[in-house]
């Protein structure tokens, strides 16, 4: 695991769930971690929404000042720069969806270019706009152009939300393999809930179990 | 297609419109609806359709008026403040009997309000909004799948009765993701649009799309004829879901996202021994009065609890439906706050007494 971990992907790929879980994993492994909610696209369902759980677990959350409020302002806090100056703390940058979200990442290129960062591209093969290799590669390239950063690894997070089955995930392996070969990028993780992963033969790819944080208001009796 | 895919409410709605034959979209972005416009902007050029970001909501709705008048399937979408701006155009569209689909992904109000989910545009959608004797058919989905299915129906209803149809979702439905399936639709049984201003081809008299009438009697005749179509809509198009209402002591009444939260509370209340049912209006206009007759058919010793993301708007229609025969209560959150199942359960316990 590298110190700086950038999470990108199509919106709806499950980036945020992966980012939150990755930050918790970093904390567990290295004793500290920071996560930056850099989403300037989505008004709801974002890392900021899990601030409570993250803080309770000792992960510092840096989010736009107005995240979760009624001010729909695409601004990022200057505190994000602390990720680059505080070189002891592992960090996750949760970037907004598509190239629109990746533009926000581009401004940190001067800091990132000298860092040995990991930039994940999260794929959900059940999203209609990322259900074939050509569309996925086109989007991945758009994200790279917009952010001026290089994707270094793929994450297969194929899911259909609450009706996901191990079969849905297994069906996507061929697709993500094709992307991996054509882009010459490794598939670093296959991520899903522990129940689905336990029924999945990941063909040697490391399994990354996800605890889900983004809940709908009617999901559970809380 | 048949296969399930994962989609955000706003984009699923846009895709459903395209599949229903909508090739013309005029809009202006506003949170939490923007993905409808963004999706149309990406897809329409690829399929020979028109996406136009107008200079304002006022322009967008008048473009809808023009395109609908020419007989094509046309849609616009916005969120609360933008829908307020569209009201003049909606009244003209209704007055000229032009079919179209208007989407409102509701956010908190009044004024600029906020960007979080709300249901406080119920009055505006169902009781007028614009001026004059007219109605919008208002469809209120509670899931992304239903949003998709109702979008197709919205175009059909509009074409069948020559009227504007509104799809009203709250911000939560616009922003959340769920698995959906697109079913094949068939619009072949719909009437030809002989009234459309699509060119005479020198073969027929010219058509006029207009809402101004010089003679009062002419206007009255048209309003009366339109009313007959509204009566037909009330007869044919009422939709609702009613679960366990006849034997319930407490009947929840909720639509959209709130209905799903209410159902979670209902399940918990049943575990605790309360007899709870739910009426979920799917058409907000026409309001499903018959669901209340069903609920009151066995006995009237019950309470109807309207749950809304507003200060109490639909509850007025609930009172009309109940018409003094049973108790009516209200629970709501507003300003963009989404009620929790726990809060609704607490209200059920307050009404039902300790178990």
**Residue A162 pLDDT more than 80?**
yes
Q: Do domains B5-236 and B240-352 have the same CATH topology?
A: yes
Compute the distance between CA of residue B75 and CA of residue B64 in angstroms, rounded to an integer: 7
Do the Cβ atoms of A13 and A157 come closer than 8 Å?
yes
Burial degree of A222 (CB within 10 A; 0-12, 13-18, 19+): exposed
Nearest residue, CB atoms, B7 vs list A70, A128, A159: A128
Residue B66 pairs with which residues in a beta bridge? none
Q: What is the largest CA-CA distance in chain A?
A: 47
Give residue B188's pLDDT band: very low, low, confident or very high (50, 70, 90): low
Q: How far A70 CA lies from chain B's nearest CA (Å)? A: 5
Cis peptide before B286 (omega within 30 of 0): yes
Judged by phi (left if over 0) then psi (alpha if -120 to 50, else beta), residue B353 lies in left
Do the Cβ atoms of B130 and B88 come closer than 8 Å?
yes
Q: How far A93 CA lies from chain B's nearest CA (Å)? A: 22
Binary contact (A43, B108; C-beta < 8 A): no
Do the Cβ atoms of B307 and B339 come closer than 8 Å?
yes
* B272 at interface of A, judged by CB pairs closer than 8 A: no
Nearest residue, CB atoms, A221 vs list B172, B177, B341: B341
Q: What percent of chain B has pLDDT over 90?
A: 95
Q: What is the pLDDT of residues B7-21, one digit of tens each?
A: 999 999 999 999 999
Mean of the pLDDT values across residues B124-143?
97
In degrees to the nearest 10, what's the CA dihedral of B199, B200, B206, B210? -20
Give residue A25's pLDDT band: very low, low, confident or very high (50, 70, 90): very high
Domain boundaries defined on chain B: 5-236, 240-352
What are the chain B neighbours of A42 within 8 Å (beta carbons)?
A: 175
Helices (H), B298-353: 314-322, 341-352
Residue B180 pairs with which residues in a beta bridge? B5
Nearest residue, CB atoms, B172 vs list A124, A163, A217: A217
Distances (CA, A) of B78 to A79, B105, B306: 34, 6, 26
Q: What is the CATH number of domain B5-236?
A: 3.40.50.970
Distances (CA, A) of B53 to A158, B25, B60, B281: 33, 8, 8, 33
Q: How far A116 CA lies from chain B's nearest CA (Å)? A: 34
Binary contact (A217, B261; C-beta < 8 A): yes
Q: What is the pLDDT of residues A72-91, one digit of tens each?
A: 777 899 999 999 999 999 99
Burial degree of A105 (CB within 10 A; 0-12, 13-18, 19+): buried
Q: What is the largest CA-CA distance in chain B?
A: 76
Q: What is the pLDDT of residues B147-184, one digit of tens each?
A: 999 999 999 999 999 999 999 999 999 999 999 999 88
The reported pLDDT for the residue numbered B349 is 98
Cα dihedral B288, B289, B292, B298 sign = negative
The reported pLDDT for the residue numbered B191 is 81
Compute the distance between CA of residue B217 and CA of residue A191 in angstroms, rounded to an integer: 69
Cα dihedral B239, B244, B249, B251 sign = negative
Q: What is the pLDDT of residues A170-199, one digit of tens each?
A: 999 999 999 999 999 999 999 999 999 999
Give residue B1's pLDDT band: very low, low, confident or very high (50, 70, 90): very low
CA angle A201, A169, B46 (to 5 degrees): 150
**Chain B, nearest residue to A163 by Cα:** B179
Which of the residues B1, B6, B42, B348 would you substitute to probe the A interface, choosing the one with the greatest number of A C-beta atoms within 10 Å?
Answer: B6
- Collapsed DSSP state (helix, strand, coil) of residue B170: strand
Closest CA to A113 of A147, A143, A79, A70: A147
Distances (CA, A) of A169 to A165, A213, B94: 7, 20, 48
Cis peptide before B221 (omega within 30 of 0): no
Give residue A59's pLDDT band: very low, low, confident or very high (50, 70, 90): very high
CA angle A114, A117, A118 (to 5 degrees): 160
Compute the distance between CA of residue B7 and CA of residue A215 in angstroms, rounded to an integer: 16
Residue B278 pairs with which residues in a beta bridge? B243, B252
Q: How far B245 CA lies from chain A's nearest CA (Å)? A: 21
CA angle A63, A67, A70 (to 5 degrees): 165
Tokens of B24: 């013309």
Give residue B69's pLDDT band: very low, low, confident or very high (50, 70, 90): very high
Give residue A66's pLDDT band: very low, low, confident or very high (50, 70, 90): confident
The reported pLDDT for the residue numbered B272 is 97
The reported pLDDT for the residue numbered B103 is 98
Q: What is the CATH number of domain B240-352?
A: 3.40.50.920
Q: How far B312 CA lies from chain A's nearest CA (Å)? A: 20
C-alpha atoms less than 13 angstroms from C-alpha of A156 in its C-beta half-sphere: 30
Q: What length is written for chain A? A: 222
In chain B, % helix, strand, coil (3-state, to 5) comes to: 40, 20, 40
Q: How far A25 CA lies from chain B's nearest CA (Å)? A: 26
Residues 95-114 of B with CB under 8 A from A: 108, 113-114
Compute the distance between CA of residue B316 and CA of residue B330 in angstroms, rounded to an integer: 10
Compute the distance between CA of residue A83 and CA of residue B235 in angstroms, rounded to an integer: 63
Question: Which strands form B283-285's sheet, in the order they lie side by side?
Answer: B50-53, B24-27, B74-78, B100-106, B164-170, B137-139, B283-285
Q: Look over chain B and give the mean of its residue pLDDT values, rounded to a whole number.
A: 96
Buried b (16+ CB within 10 A) or exposed e, B94-117: bbbbbbbbbbbbbbbbeeebbbbb
Q: Is the ipTM of this complex over 0.90?
A: yes
Binary contact (A217, B342; C-beta < 8 A): no
User: Count of CB atoms within 10 A of residue A85's CB?
Assistant: 8
Binary contact (A11, B115; C-beta < 8 A): no
In chain A, % helix, strand, coil (3-state, to 5) comes to: 40, 20, 40
Do the Cβ atoms of B284 and B306 come closer than 8 Å?
no
Instruction: Please give the residue that has the higher pLDDT: either A101 or B60.
Output: B60
Q: What is the pLDDT of residues B280-320, one digit of tens each?
A: 999 999 999 999 999 999 999 999 999 999 999 999 999 99
* B341 at interface of A, judged by CB pairs closer than 8 A: yes
Pairing of the two strands B137-139 and B100-106: unpaired
Host H or E run for residue B7: strand B5-8
Tokens of B23: 């090739």
Binary contact (B172, A216; C-beta < 8 A): yes
Compute the distance between CA of residue A147 and CA of residue B61 in angstroms, rounded to an integer: 36
Do the Cβ atoms of B11 and B77 come closer than 8 Å?
no
What are the chain A neighbours of B341 within 8 Å (beta carbons)?
A: 217-218, 221-222
CA angle A118, A121, A125 (to 5 degrees): 155
* B32 at interface of A, judged by CB pairs closer than 8 A: yes
Nearest residue, CB atoms, B5 vs list A44, A126, A162: A126
Closest CA to A106 of A149, A151, A42: A149
Pairing of the two strands B283-285 and B137-139: antiparallel
* B81 at interface of A, judged by CB pairs closer than 8 A: no
Q: Which domains does chain A have, with CATH numbers?
A: 4-209 (3.40.50.300)
């Amino acid at each position: 695991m590298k110190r700086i971990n950038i999470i990108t992907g199509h919106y709806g790929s499950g980036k945020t769930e992966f980012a939150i879980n990755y930050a918790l994993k970093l904390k567990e492994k290295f004793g500290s971690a920071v996560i930056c909610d850099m989403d300037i696209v989505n008004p709801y369902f974002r890392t900021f929404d899990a601030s409570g759980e993250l803080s309770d677990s000792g992960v510092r959350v840096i989010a736009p000042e107005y995240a979760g409020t009624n001010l729909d302002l695409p601004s990022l806090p200057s505190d994000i720069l602390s990720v680059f100056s505080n070189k002891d703390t592992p960090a996750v940058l949760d970037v907004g969806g598509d190239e629109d979200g990746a533009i926000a990442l581009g401004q940190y290129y001067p800091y990132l270019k000298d860092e040995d960062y990991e930039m994940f591209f999260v794929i959900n093969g059940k999203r209609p706009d990322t259900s074939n290799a050509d569309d996925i590669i086109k989007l991945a390239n758009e994200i790279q152009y917009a952010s001026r950063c290089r994707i270094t690894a793929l994450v297969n997070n194929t899911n259909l939300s609450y009706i996901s089955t191990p079969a849905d995930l297994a069906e996507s392996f061929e697709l993500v393999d094709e992307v991996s070969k054509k882009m010459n990028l490794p598939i670093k993780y296959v991520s899903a809930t522990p129940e689905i992963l336990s029924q999945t033969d990941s063909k040697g790819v490391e399994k990354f179990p996800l605890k889900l944080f983004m809940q709908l208001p009617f999901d559970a009796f809380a | 297609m048949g296969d399930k895919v994962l989609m955000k409410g706003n984009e699923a709605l846009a895709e459903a419109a395209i599949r229903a034959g909508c090739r013309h979209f005029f809009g202006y972005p506003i949170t939490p609806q923007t993905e409808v416009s963004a999706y149309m902007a990406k897809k329409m050029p690829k399929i020979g359709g028109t996406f136009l970001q107008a200079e304002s909501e006022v322009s967008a709705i008048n473009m809808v008026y023009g395109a609908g008048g020419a007989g094509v399937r046309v849609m616009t979408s916005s969120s609360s403040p933008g829908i307020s701006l569209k009201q003049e155009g909606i009244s003209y569209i209704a007055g000229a009997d032009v079919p179209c689909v208007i989407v409102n992904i509701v956010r908190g109000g009044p004024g600029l309000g906020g960007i979080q989910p709300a249901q406080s545009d119920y009055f505006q959608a169902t009781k007028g909004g614009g001026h004059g004797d007219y109605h919008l058919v208002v469809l209120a989905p509670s899931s992304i799948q239903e949003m998709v299915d109702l979008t197709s129906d919205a175009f059909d209803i509009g074409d069948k009765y020559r009227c504007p149809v509104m799809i009203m979702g709250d911000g939560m439905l616009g922003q959340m993701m769920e698995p959906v399936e697109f079913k094949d639709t068939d619009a072949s049984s719909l009437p030809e649009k002989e009234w459309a201003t699509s060119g005479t081809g020198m073969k027929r008299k010219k058509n006029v799309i207009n809402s101004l009438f010089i003679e009062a009697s002419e206007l009255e005749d048209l309003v009366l004829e339109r009313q007959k179509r509204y009566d037909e809509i009330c007869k044919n198009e009422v939709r609702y879901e009613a679960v366990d209402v006849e034997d319930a002591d407490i009947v929840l009444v909720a639509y959209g996202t709130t209905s799903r939260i209410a159902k979670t509370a209902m399940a918990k209340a049943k575990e605790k021994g309360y007899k709870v049912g739910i009426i979920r209006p799917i058409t907000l206009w026409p309001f499903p009065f018959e669901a209340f007759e069903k609920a009151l058919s066995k006995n009237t010793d019950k309470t109807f609890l309207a749950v809304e993301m507003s200060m109490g708007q639909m509850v007025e229609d609930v009172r009309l439906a109940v018409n003094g025969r049973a108790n009516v209560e209200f629970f709501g959150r507003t300003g963009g706050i989404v009620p929790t199942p726990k809060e609704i359960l607490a209200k059920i316990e307050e009404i039902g007494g300790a178990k």
